[in-house]
Amino acid sequence: MSTATTTTPPTPAAARPCPSLNSTAAAVVLLGIVVAGAWSVSEIGISVRTIADSFDNAVNFIGRTLPLDFPPLGETVALVVETLAIVFLATALSVALSIPVALFSATPTTTGRTAKWVARTVTVLARAIPDLVLAIIFLRMFGLGPAAGILAMGIHSVGMIAKLYGDAIEELDDGPRQSVESVGGTRRQQITASIPQVLMPQIIATALHRFDINLRTSVLLGYVGVGGIGLAISDSLRVLNYQRGMALAVIVLVLCILIELISGAIRAAIMNRSGGSVVGGTWADRMLNRRGSTPAGSGDLDLTPPWTMDRVRRFGAVILLAVLTVLAFIEVDLSWRDIWKGLADLPATLGLFFPPSARGSMDAIIEQLLVTVQIALAATFLGAILAIPIGVLAARNVVANRYVHGAFRTFIVIVRGIPELILAIIFVVISGLGGVAGTLALAVGAVGLLSKLVADSLEETDVEVQEALRTAGASELQIFFSATVRQAAPAFIAHTMYLLDTNIRSATLLGVVGAGGVGYLLLNASRINQFDVVTMILLLMVAVVLAVEAVSIWLRNSVR
């Protein structure tokens, strides 16, 4: 009698789960963005032939700029000091405004759901409204001069700084605040006793990064009447004095690179020092080194802390900031009478901007807005193609040769130091007015930004995973694709979407110098006092920016 035996098919040891509907949709959207970027490159008319045809114009442009005509030393120093004073005050204003907005927008420190919603709305709107539009409004209120630029950059910067501060508060350990709350501390006591001393390194590092961004922005605002080097460049190029204009552009480039290097070194020092921070005490105690501790072997409380080198540095930094603030106010020479008059006329000024109207030019506005989106897509596509390999070669954990990754890091710093407005002016002269100039300018700028983000993301990956594969005998190429790239892929996507979001805003602004898009219509409407048209263009721009930001947030959450 035979017995029947049944065999069960082997089960795979590690069956790969099916992709979710959300991740599949995200992949489709990403592919659509890539296709739209490639299509935009073709639609704008960028090709090897286009670039080759512009070669003669490039040679002629170089001939018209050489020799560079630098201003006298005294005038150069005055322009640099004025520019730095404007940027310093704008950054200080943005930090002062961002801290309360961040406290209201973060869950551990907010007073209620309504306050949180209002604070986050303020953050989004400040980020969505271009500083150029804010400058146009403030120039109408306060007239030509630095006040409009300081307020425009200061308020617009709240969008980024308050968001980063709020995110940092959300990620903090809430234990210290809850401890203060458990012993009956008020909301104010909870915040002042537990938040600032932990958040101070983040506050300083973010402020330094924003100072670097505002320095580049100040060049653009010079085109609408804000002082400094930007205004001098605008005046020179308006009369086709390319020798003086490009000489000033070189000064801006050197200044941006120096500020980038200095702020980067300060941020690194602050972050390294913050790793050993002392827990407990208020931010004032930490700044003055009042730890409230009793020395070993002593029964008395040490109320007078010693003047250690750390305390001297902290105290010196506070004094330096106070002195720089006073000197900056003296340098810009604000007219407080004009400021108060402008504030008194605020209702009348806002009445010029409302209700919004297209004045019969809605078709032209929509058409140029679509061109702006095309420029942003094309620049992001081209920039990503160039930036990803450069970022890979600049990552220290991917390229072991320090000379190689050091050379690419230096290249990134130099490219990041060139303001996109200067690039746009150069490409407009070489390739003519239109979207080609704007796309090429933003693509070069994208290389500086995205390649740095890619390199940083690769260096932040888990080294233990890579070492495990190396121990198992995997080659460096296998380690790179299976461990390093896989870990950094979500960050790559997030950075690319951030670049697209940034490029849409930048493409709008570069239209000021004829680099295509809706920016030219925006500036032209402000020049002929059609401020209701300015508002209409602004509302459409904000709608596009918010839509892109919503897609970006969804994609980041989907690929995690």
pLDDT, position 381: 92
Tell me the helix, strand and coil percentages in the chain, rounded to 5: 75, 0, 25
Report the CATH superfamily, name and number, of domain 21-53+362-560.
Answer: MetI-like (1.10.3720.10)
* Residues with pLDDT less than 50, the chain: 1-7, 11-15, 275-303
Which ranges in the chain are annotated with CATH 1.10.3720.10? 21-53+362-560, 71-175+186-294+305-353
pLDDT, position 296: 44
Distance CA 203, CA 512 (A): 33
Distance CA 130, CA 153 (A): 9
In the block, tokens 């303001």 appear at: 419
The identity of residue 71, as a single letter, is P
Count Cα atoms within 13 angstroms, Cβ side, for 127: 23
Distances (CA, A) of 426 to 140, 214, 411: 30, 21, 20
Distances (CA, A) of 72 to 77, 78, 79, 242: 9, 10, 11, 17
Distances (CA, A) of 347 to 342, 352, 522: 10, 9, 22
In the block, tokens 């700044």 appear at: 287
Contact indicator for 380, 499 with CB cutoff of 8 Å: yes
Contact indicator for 153, 179 with CB cutoff of 8 Å: no
Query: 71-175+186-294+305-353 adopts what CATH topology?
Result: MetI-like fold (1.10.3720)
Distances (CA, A) of 469 to 289, 455, 456, 478, 488: 46, 21, 21, 9, 16
Distances (CA, A) of 9 to 6, 12: 10, 9
Contact indicator for 79, 224 with CB cutoff of 8 Å: no
pLDDT tens digits for 368-399?
889 899 999 999 999 989 888 898 888 887 77
The tokens for 337 are 């009478």
pLDDT, position 305: 58
pLDDT, position 240: 83
pLDDT, position 559: 64
In the block, tokens 């504030």 appear at: 343
pLDDT, position 196: 57
Strand (E) or helix (H) holding 23: helix 21-44
